[in-house]
Amino acid sequence: MKRVRLTEGDLIRLIKKVISEQNVATPTENKESKKKQPPKPRCIPENMIPLDEIVGQADEYVKYSPGVTKRRMGVNSMVDTLGILNNIRLFKDVKDGGSHLAYDMMNNLNRFRNKNYYDETTGECHKAMDKLTELYKENEHGTELVKDIERILNLQTKDDEYTPSPRAKEYLKQCVNLVKGQ
């Protein structure tokens, strides 16, 4: 058996040759494929959010006002918040028209912006906001996050006293922008 010994210089020249051949062979395809594909999320510890934070604790309730409790963070909190805002006329203890609830939801959503989630089953990184909307759909009380928020924005009753306040609606509009990625 004949042995071939490569020096470090030979190895570097071979690598450069292969790379240059790949770039010369398909220069337009490489440029077009890079333009078509959105940038792939990178999994680095600074921008990662674990699944537990996205979902939130199911049994960790916070007293919002007398007679009104909701879960603290994550998808579970959003389900509770949107449920309260959708039925605000039933909660007489909510005096601010739901603006504090909408503000908390906006801040909760803002935590997931520009963050990624590592999917252990596929071994890939995904945007945390995409996982959040997926988990919201899977929740028994949630349908689609954007549609549920827009339904509350369009909520009208005879009594303006029991609809979300204008400030709450502004916060909810910002929530829609955060979910859509604008």
DSSP designation for 106: H
Mean of pLDDT values over 138-145: 83
What pLDDT is stored for residue 18 in this prediction? 81
What pLDDT is stored for residue 139 in this prediction? 85
What pLDDT is stored for residue 170 in this prediction? 92
Nearby residues of 78 by Cβ (< 8 Å), 6 or more positions away: 105, 108, 109, 136, 142, 145
**3 state SS of 176:** helix
Q: Report the candidate in 85, 112, 123, 90 with the shortest Cα–Cα distance to residue 101.
A: 85
Please state whether the predicted TM-score (pTM) of the whole model is above 0.75: no
End-to-end C-alpha distance for the chain, whole angstroms: 63
Comparing 79-83, 116-120, 143-147, 161-165, which segment has the lowest mean pLDDT? Answer: 161-165
Mean of pLDDT values over 79-86: 88
pLDDT at 2 over 70: yes
pLDDT in tens, 15-59: 888 887 777 655 555 555 556 666 666 778 888 888 888 888 888
pLDDT in tens, 95-141: 888 888 999 999 999 998 889 988 888 888 889 999 999 998 988 88
What pLDDT is stored for residue 12 in this prediction? 87
What pLDDT is stored for residue 21 in this prediction? 77
